[in-house]
């Protein structure tokens, strides 16, 4: 990806920042710098940049279950913090940052110190053409002295003070990054997606998993199921309760945080409270798939029985059925019997379900509003 030209900076070296990226730290460190620059800050401590790295990685690790690397300390830190704090996997970023600023947990501080061992110094290695790679190792004070003697760097270091060490972004780089912000962020996203795809080859929708989860538009699906509920009672599959239109919520049988899509065959109505309890867990297959298949089959029968349901389905399908083969196999007019329909639905969902389970999504059984069981 071509970066914008500069008359004062040698941009070819910036383009090499993420070459041979065996770990994710450089990507998150640079993203943290861009975030702080957006806030108008050009003098930054190691700790506030590391806190940004952790907050950015939080959703990828805890919500989307992405693998950042086989021995990745940023991933380990997020898992540890998620375990000890009980914060939601989709927690607000400012809440995460506030916790990190005020945290005195020794293990979290230890992980933070590991994260600053190399990345602050090695990110700029392509710009330091006069230094050998070995000169970026060893005593940290000597490292900083050597680096600060180089010219045209993105940032320079203040006096070493562990996590309190300050970096100062240089004016010519600040102007370049601000002027070309959109292109720089696109370039960074491109490298982040490539890195994560390499680490998570079987996971779909990587590009949608770089940021906190957003509210999704399931209005058409809700309208479809509400129409069916007007014609006959609809029972949700987890507690076998009849759903009123006021209670209705749409659940992804395999969580959106894995599939990253809103395909109709993976969606079904439940209550808002049960949907909230299930969160981004996998409904236990043996317990619930038959109920899902029956519910989907009943709606399939009704769409060919009632013209109004068929029209609502057609409207819904334009947004929520993006595979013509699946639409033909499951929803064709020929009149599928219940068992063949269930078998075809299982053929579509089971591989995705198994892949999500292998990615670390825990199985869930609904017991009551107060007692839900993770397996």
Tokens describing residue 368:
């009551």
Indicate the pairing of strand 267-271 with strand 248-252.
Answer: antiparallel
Both 231 and 349 in one domain: the answer is yes
Mean pLDDT of 241-252: 92
In a domain, 5, yes or no: no
Mean pLDDT of 98-122: 96
Both 305 and 323 in one domain: the answer is yes
> How many structural domains comprise the chain?
2
Mean pLDDT of 252-275: 95
* Element housing 373 (H / E): strand 372-374
92-98, long-range: CB < 8 A, 24+ apart = 93/55, 93/58, 93/212, 96/54, 96/55, 96/58, 97/51, 97/52, 97/55
pLDDT range class, residue 134, cuts 50, 70, 90: confident
d(CA 81, CA 111): 11
Both 30 and 137 in one domain: the answer is yes
pLDDT range class, residue 2, cuts 50, 70, 90: confident
367, pLDDT greater than 90? no
370, pLDDT greater than 80? no
Q: What is the pLDDT of residue 372?
A: 54
What average pLDDT does the structure give for the chain? 93
In a domain, 4, yes or no: no
Last residue in a domain, options 209, 235, 269: 209
pTM score, whole prediction: 0.88
pLDDT range class, residue 245, cuts 50, 70, 90: confident
For residue 161, what are the β-bridge partners? Answer: 163
Lowest mean pLDDT among 91-95, 282-286, 290-294, 367-371: 367-371
In a domain, 313, yes or no: yes
The 8-class DSSP code of residue 235 comes to: B
324, pLDDT greater than 90? yes
Q: What angle do CA 175, 180, 182 make, to 5 degrees?
A: 135
Q: What is the pLDDT of residue 369?
A: 54
Q: What is the pLDDT of residue 70?
A: 87
214, pLDDT greater than 90? no
Q: What is the dihedral of CA 350, 353, 359, 361, to 10 degrees?
A: -150
In a domain, 112, yes or no: yes
Last residue in a domain, options 175, 209, 243: 209
**E strand intervals along 65-177:** 155-157, 166-169
Tokens describing residue 332:
């064709």
Q: pLDDT, tens digit, for every residue of 18-34?
A: 987 888 999 999 999 99
Q: What is the pLDDT of residue 374?
A: 58
Q: Is the separation of the CB atoms in 285 and 237 below 8 Å?
A: no
In a domain, 3, yes or no: no
Q: What is the pLDDT of residue 19?
A: 87
Nearest to 161 by CA among 248, 270, 46, 53: 46
Last residue in a domain, options 177, 209, 241: 209
Mean pLDDT of 220-234: 95
Both 145 and 246 in one domain: the answer is no
Indicate the pairing of strand 166-169 with strand 282-283.
Answer: unpaired
In a domain, 16, yes or no: yes
Both 255 and 329 in one domain: the answer is yes
Mean pLDDT of 41-63: 97
Domain enclosing residue 73, as ranges: 11-209
Tokens describing residue 264:
């109709």
Q: Is the separation of the CB atoms in 71 and 64 below 8 Å?
A: no
Both 74 and 100 in one domain: the answer is yes
Q: What is the pLDDT of residue 368?
A: 67
Q: What is the pLDDT of residue 371?
A: 46
In a domain, 186, yes or no: yes
Both 192 and 232 in one domain: the answer is no
Tokens describing residue 128:
């330091």
d(CA 96, CA 250): 28
Q: What is the pLDDT of residue 83?
A: 96
């Amino acid at each position: 990806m071509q970066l914008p030209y500069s008359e004062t900076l040698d941009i070819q070296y910036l383009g090499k920042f993420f070459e041979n990226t065996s770990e994710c730290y450089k990507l998150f460190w640079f993203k943290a710098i861009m975030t702080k620059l957006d806030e108008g800050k050009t003098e930054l401590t190691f700790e506030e940049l590391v806190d940004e790295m952790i907050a950015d990685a939080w959703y990828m690790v805890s919500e989307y279950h992405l693998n950042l690397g086989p021995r990745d300390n940023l991933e380990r830190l997020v898992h540890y913090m998620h375990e000890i704090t009980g914060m939601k996997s989709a927690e607000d970023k400012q809440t995460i940052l506030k916790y990190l600023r005020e945290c005195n947990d020794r293990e979290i501080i230890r992980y933070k110190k590991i994260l600053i061992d190399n990345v602050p110094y090695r990110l700029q290695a392509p710009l330091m053409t006069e230094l050998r790679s070995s000169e970026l190792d060893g005593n940290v004070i000597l490292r900083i002295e050597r680096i600060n003697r180089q010219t045209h760097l993105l940032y320079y270091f203040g006096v070493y003070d562990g996590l309190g060490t300050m970096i100062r972004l240089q004016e010519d780089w600040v102007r370049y990054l601000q002027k070309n912000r959109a292109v720089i962020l696109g370039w960074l996203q491109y490298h982040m997606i490539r890195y994560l795809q390499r680490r998570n080859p079987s996971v779909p929708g990587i590009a949608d998993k770089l940021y906190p989860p957003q509210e999704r538009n399931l209005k058409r699906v809700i309208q479809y199921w509400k129409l069916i509920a007007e014609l006959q009672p609809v029972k949700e599959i987890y507690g076998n309760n009849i759903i009123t239109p006021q209670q209705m919520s749409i659940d992804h049988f395999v969580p959106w945080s894995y599939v990253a899509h809103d395909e109709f065959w993976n969606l079904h109505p439940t209550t808002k409270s049960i949907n909230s309890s299930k969160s981004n867990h996998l409904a236990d297959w043996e317990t619930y798939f038959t109920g899902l298949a029956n519910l989907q089959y009943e709606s399939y029968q009704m769409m060919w029985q009632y013209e109004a349901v068929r029209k609502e389905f057609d409207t819904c399908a334009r947004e929520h059925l993006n595979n013509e083969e699946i639409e033909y196999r499951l929803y064709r007019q020929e009149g599928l019997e219940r068992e063949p329909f269930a078998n075809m639905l299982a053929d579509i969902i089971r591989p995705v379900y198994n892949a999500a389970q292998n990615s670390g999504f825990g199985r869930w059984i609904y017991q009551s509003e107060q007692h839900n069981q993770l397996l």
